């Protein structure tokens, strides 16, 4: 099954006349349709709220699209809190889920009225010292340890993860927090990453719902919400079937009725913190082939590199590639598709079968809407690319300009040397 692009070659040729490659392009229509589906999938739960994982894509234009559907922000740092406040997202619209958290981050989160999700039992004292009290509304992150197996061989290893409290610790934490004045409690957990199955959320939900029943019974803490966090993934490879968020929502509903309702906890709100699922398929990296090299292997060199999309270089992640205008040609050429960094792992694909590529061909690298631009960096003095939004009416909006050399040099104390250099070059 071939993955389809949400933009045509003709559209890209027009866009490139104004905005040269490389750039990240996002699909407004796809984002909106997905947000609507997410809301519908959990409409059975009166208190449901999706907190978009800002770390996945911190562009305020895109986050504001989700805000139109009542979504909040899941933040993990001071700067992400700043961004959320800047777009009017404050109070219970912010879930602050952090680890190894600095004092000032807790202080800012409390100032904004965010719901703070504690990663460790020792953070209770740390938070109290940081803000002078324990909030009335608080959440704790749970890590059961061991291996979490979903189905069809999909598993993850919470026991190796640095996040969350043990079962014994979360019981102790709830008792301590209750003694210190907390009145509204939540539970949070993230046990598997990028699952492409409709079973993950219902399985996680059952585990958390059963824990919630015991916590409320044994500690007397009033549990108001259960945060299923992220982990619902996307099909990066063409052979994978995408998750059905409505089926996922119904699966969670079924477990909710089985576990929480009989326990008298039918008023508990369900939260999620999806980033990849909300935005991933609705972004792509658009790049141009600028070199070809034939040595021990055949290489295609692009004007994009790992600073534009780090995932393949970082851990060999697969991102599908479409050579625009050649979608129906045979995949009869084997290439390593590379960028220009002085690192051998700067490859978008290794031994990938593609149609024959010529210099000047436009390539679309799929599924970069989450953990794409957001993971960018400036190694080798490379500058981050522009971000564009393909609007529902077919027009294109620049939602982040490309970096300039002046941006790269701006944080140096001796910034004047850059201005002198430009002066010299302009003579």
Rg, C-alpha atoms of the chain: 23
Picking from 40, 46, 114, 102, the residue whose alpha carbon sits closest to that of residue 75 is 114
Q: Are 388 and 27 in contact (CB under 8 A)?
A: no
Two tokens at 363?
A: 């390539």
Spatial contact of 388 and 15, defined as CB atoms under 8 Å apart: yes
Catalytic residue chosen out of the listed positions 75, 140, 284, 342: 342
Question: 326-341 burial by CB neighbour count: b if 16+ within 10 A, else e?
Answer: beeeeeeeebbbbbbb
Contacts of 330 (CB under 8 A, 6+ apart): 355
Strands 362-365 and 283-294: antiparallel
Contacts (Cβ under 8 Å, ≥6 apart) of 264? none
Query: What angle (nearest 5°) sits at the alpha carbon of residue 75, between those of residues 367 and 104?
Result: 145
State yes or no: cis peptide before 226, omega within 30 of 0.
no
What HEC string does 232-276 produce?
A: ECCCCCCCCCCCCHHHHHHHHHHHHHHHCHHHCCCCCEEEECCCH
Buried b (16+ CB within 10 A) or exposed e, 185-219: bbbbbbbbebbbbbbbbbbbbbbbbebbbebbeeb
**β-bridge mates for residue 388, sequence order:** 25, 398
- Helix or strand or coil: residue 329? coil
Q: What are the φ/ψ torsions at residue 25 (nearest 5 degrees)? A: -120, 135
User: Is residue 342 among the annotated active site residues?
Assistant: yes
Catalytic residues: 342
């Amino acid at each position: 099954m071939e993955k389809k692009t949400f933009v045509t070659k003709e559209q890209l040729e027009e866009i490139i006349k104004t905005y040269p490659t490389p750039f990240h392009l996002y699909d407004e229509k796809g984002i909106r349709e997905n947000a609507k589906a997410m809301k519908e999938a959990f409409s059975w739960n009166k208190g449901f709220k999706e907190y978009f994982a800002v770390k996945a894509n911190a562009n305020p234009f895109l986050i504001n699209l989700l805000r139109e559907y009542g979504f909040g922000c899941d933040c993990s740092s001071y700067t992400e809190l700043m961004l959320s406040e800047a777009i009017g997202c404050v109070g219970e619209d912010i879930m602050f889920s952090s680890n190894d958290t600095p004092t000032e981050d807790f202080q800012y989160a409390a100032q904004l009225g965010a719901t703070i999700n504690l990663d460790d039992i020792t953070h209770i004292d740390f938070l109290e010292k940081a803000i002078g009290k324990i909030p009335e509304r608080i959440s704790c992150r749970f890590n059961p340890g061991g291996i979490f197996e979903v189905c069809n061989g999909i598993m993850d290893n919470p026991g190796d993860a640095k996040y969350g409290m043990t079962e014994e610790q979360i019981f102790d934490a709830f008792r301590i927090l209750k003694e210190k004045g907390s009145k509204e409690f939540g539970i949070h957990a993230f046990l598997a990453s990028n699952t492409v199955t409709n079973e993950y959320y219902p399985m996680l939900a059952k585990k958390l719902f059963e824990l919630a029943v015991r916590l409320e019974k044994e500690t007397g803490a009033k549990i108001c919400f259960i945060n299923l966090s992220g982990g619902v993934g996307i099909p990066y490879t063409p052979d994978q079937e995408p998750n059905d968020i409505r089926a996922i929502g119904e699966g969670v509903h079924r477990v909710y009725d089985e576990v929480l309702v009989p326990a008298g906890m039918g008023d508990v709100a369900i939260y999620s913190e999806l980033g990849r699922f909300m935005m991933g398929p609705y972004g792509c990296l658009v790049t141009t082939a600028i070199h070809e090299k034939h040595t021990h292997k055949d290489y295609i060199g692009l004007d994009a590199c790992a600073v534009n999309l780090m995932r393949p270089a970082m851990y060999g992640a697969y991102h599908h590639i479409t050579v625009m205008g050649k979608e129906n040609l045979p995949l009869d050429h084997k290439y390593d598709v590379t960028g220009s960094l002085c690192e051998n792992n700067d490859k978008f694909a290794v031994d990938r079968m593609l149609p024959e590529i010529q210099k000047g061909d436009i390539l679309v690298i799929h599924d970069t809407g989450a953990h794409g631009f957001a993971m960018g960096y400036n190694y080798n003095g490379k500058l981050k690319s522009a971000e564009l939004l393909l609007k529902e009416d077919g027009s294109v909006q620049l939602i982040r300009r490309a970096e300039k050399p002046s941006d790269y040099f701006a944080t140096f104390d001796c910034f004047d040397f850059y201005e002198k250099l430009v002066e010299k070059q302009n003579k």
